[in-house]
Amino acid sequence: MVCFFISLFGCDSASINEIDINSIKTYRDIPGVNEEEISAIETLKSKIEKFSFGQMLETEAFIQSDGTFAGFVPKLCALLTELFGIEFVLEIHDWDSLKSGLDAMRIDFTGDLTPTQERMQFYYMTHPIAEHNQRIFTLLDNDLYLEKDVNGRNIGFLAGTIDAEIIKEHYPDLTFQTVEVDDFDSAAELLRIGAIDAFVTEGVIDPIFDEYGFIQSKEFFPLVYTPVSLTTANPDLAPIISVVNKYIEAGGIDKLFELYREGDEEYVRYKLSRRFSEQEKAYLNNLRTNNHTVKIALEHDNYPVSFYNVTEKEFQGIAVDVLSEISRLAGIEFELANTENKPWSEILEMLRVGEVSIVSELLSSEERKGLFLWADVPYASVYYALISKSDFPNLAIYQAVKARVGLVSKSA
């Protein structure tokens, strides 16, 4: 993403690397800022107490359970407040009030507009401060997993946007029916009654659908990204736009990328916490407050799910990565309870007697039902392989019943 932004600005990497962006404490320190800009900004500050920053309810600006704002935009407002010495105050609006407020100059700034040649005739816009990915919204029991799965489907898009055209430009082999939708509530209703198979829009609007218990979403169309800029319609605020551009060109894009990553992680944690029941929240809180760990056992030879890397001397694999992500987002710690040479039969016994709470993989079988718990949804799907000497005939699956096949002891 950083390289993409730099190419837009026409900056060379050498000039960026010469500057420690964290050393810039005030807008006056930004390379290239001139006296005319400083005079204009100080005049603004003498006349007003704060700037309003309008934004829709998004992953970039969402409201936590305690009523406080979180995400990228609050962090951006804090950065701008520090740089300019005047408060940038976040306000949440729907699209209509945001657009009308910006046009009437009741709202000073927003970070919700994509820079286009047409818009730049009416607005003052910075270089891109972020890029929005695409997200697909579906019913819970949908079967849309890959981009090709939308072929032949009815896909909803917000009326007046060019999202469908951009997607077809990047994915010319896809053929789907475009259904224009007036607003997000209409999109939810059309999904509910089956009039559309999916709704696609910029991923940042994900929080708007949080209240619908029958809708899920995920990132989709990874080739499509939409840039957004810091924008104002007020010509008096043009010096702010000019100075922010110079901050970005001086390497501030790296700082914005850092803030975006932090804000995005805040939203992922928030989204995850909303899925927990009160009982689950109490359990996790007990683990955290009492510094308790969850004991786990990992297989050393089940590549790529769980294996011991003898070169790097550590367990690796899909299960390890999943548990690491859970630890990071839920704030709990997992404790490995087995050595790298522990056979599967002993790992299974550790789980059976309660020495560990989790193992990296356990296949469900009739004899195991009632003894163990499995997640409702698998974290990965893998396939069996028949392994033989190179001179043994290649067998079809149905021929395996006539061969002597070895299995791992205690496996399902």
Q: Structural domain boundaries of the chain?
A: 2-130+231-270, 134-223, 282-381
| pLDDT tens column, 180-191 | 999 999 999 999
Q: Mean pLDDT across the stretch 312-332?
A: 94
pLDDT at 398: 67
pLDDT band at 221 (very low <50, low <70, confident <90, very high): very high
CATH 3.40.190.10 fits 134-223, yes or no: yes
5-19, 202-216, 338-352, 387-401: segment of lowest average pLDDT = 5-19
Q: What DSSP character marks residue 260?
A: H
CATH number of 282-381: 3.40.190.10
Q: Which residue carries 């190419």 as its tokens?
A: 7
Tell which residue, 127, 392, 394, has the closest CA to residue 256.
127
- Cα R_g (the chain), whole angstroms: 27
Identify the DSSP state of 52: E
- Whether 134-223 shares its CATH topology with 282-381 is answered yes
State yes or no: pLDDT of 26 exceeds 50: yes
Mean pLDDT value across residues 330-358: 94
Over residues 227-239, the mean pLDDT reads 97
Q: Which residue has the higher pLDDT, 14 or 235?
A: 235
Residue 301's identity, in one-letter code, is: D
Residue range 279-298: mean pLDDT, rounded: 95
Listed in order, strand segments (DSSP E) in 252-387 are 293-297, 301-302, 306-309, 314-316, 333-336, 358-359
- Least reliable range by pLDDT among 48-62, 279-293, 364-378: 364-378
User: pLDDT, tens digit, for every residue of 96-106?
Assistant: 899 999 999 99
Residues in the chain, total:
412
Residue 11: its pLDDT value, please? 44
Q: Is pLDDT above 80 for 16? A: no
CATH class, 2-130+231-270 region:
alpha beta
CA angle 398, 362, 326 (to 5 degrees): 130
Mean per-residue pLDDT for 69-78? 97
Residues 288-317: b if buried by 16+ CB within 10 A, e if exposed? eeeeeebbbbbbbebeebbbbeeeeeebeb
Looking at residue 160, its pLDDT comes to 78
pLDDT bin (cut points 50, 70, 90) of residue 9 is very low
Residue 4 pLDDT > 60, yes or no?
A: no
56 falls in which pLDDT band (50, 70, 90)? very high
Task: Give the confidence band of 18 by pLDDT, cuts at 50, 70, 90.
Answer: low
pLDDT at 224 over 60: yes
Confidence check: pLDDT of 152 > 90 = yes
